[in-house]
Amino acid sequence: MDSELATLLGEILATVNRLERIAYQSVESSKSSTYYRTLGALRQFGPQRASALAQHYRVSQPAMSRVITALVDDGLVVREPDSTDSRASIIRISELGERVYLERLNAMGRAVTPYFAEISVVDRAVLGAALEVLKINQSRAGAGLA
C-alpha cells in the first residue's frame, strides 16, 4: 500500500468532511443530513430499496423508513412497488426532489465560497481536476448502492 497516498486521501476526506459540516451548519434546514444525502444517493445511483439505502448509510431500517416517509410526504421521492418482491418498495427521486437537491447543493457551495474567493484561476482548475479524479476513482471503487 502507498502510505503517502493513503495519508493524502485521509487528509482530503477530513478536510471535505469539515467543509461539509460548515456548509450544513450555514444552510438553514429543519431536515437531517441523511434526508439530503438520501436524495443525493437516489439521484446518483437511481431507484433503490429502502434496505439498500439503510445499509449504505449505516442506519437502521426504521430510521431510513422515517427519512423516506418524510421525503415522500414532501413530494421529493416516490415509493413504487418492487416488481421482483411484492413486499418491498423501490424509492426513486421525483422531479421536485431533483430540484430541491440541486438547490441545496448550490446553497452549500455558496456557503463555503467565501473561503475560496481569493484562490487563483490555476487553483480553481486544480480543484476541478481533483474533483474529476475523485469521481472517476469513486465509480471504480464501486462506492455506490447497486
pLDDT at 87 (0 to 100): 86
pLDDT at 63 (0 to 100): 94
Residue 146 covered by a domain: no
Number of domain units in the chain: 1
Q: How far apart are CA 47 and CA 32, in angstroms?
A: 21
Structural domain of 17: 3-140
Residue 55 covered by a domain: yes
Pairing between β-strand 85-93 and β-strand 48-49 as defined by DSSP bridges: antiparallel
Distances (CA, A) of 92 to 56, 58, 79, 119: 16, 19, 7, 38
Residue 37 covered by a domain: yes
Residue 113 covered by a domain: yes
Residue 22 covered by a domain: yes
pLDDT at 141 (0 to 100): 65
pLDDT at 88 (0 to 100): 85
Range list of β-strands (E), 9-120: 48-49, 77-82, 85-93
Residue 132 covered by a domain: yes
CATH code assigned at 88: 1.10.10.10
Q: Look at residues 34, 33, 11, 12 and name the one whose alpha carbon lies nearest to residue 24.
A: 33
Structure letter (DSSP) for residue 116: G
Please say whether the beta carbons of 70 and 61 come within 8 A: no
Residue 145 covered by a domain: no
- Tens-digit pLDDT profile for the chain (146 aa)? 799 999 999 999 999 999 999 998 889 888 888 899 999 999 988 999 999 999 988 899 999 999 999 999 999 999 999 888 888 899 999 999 999 999 999 999 999 999 999 999 999 999 999 999 998 888 766 556 65
pLDDT at 68 (0 to 100): 96
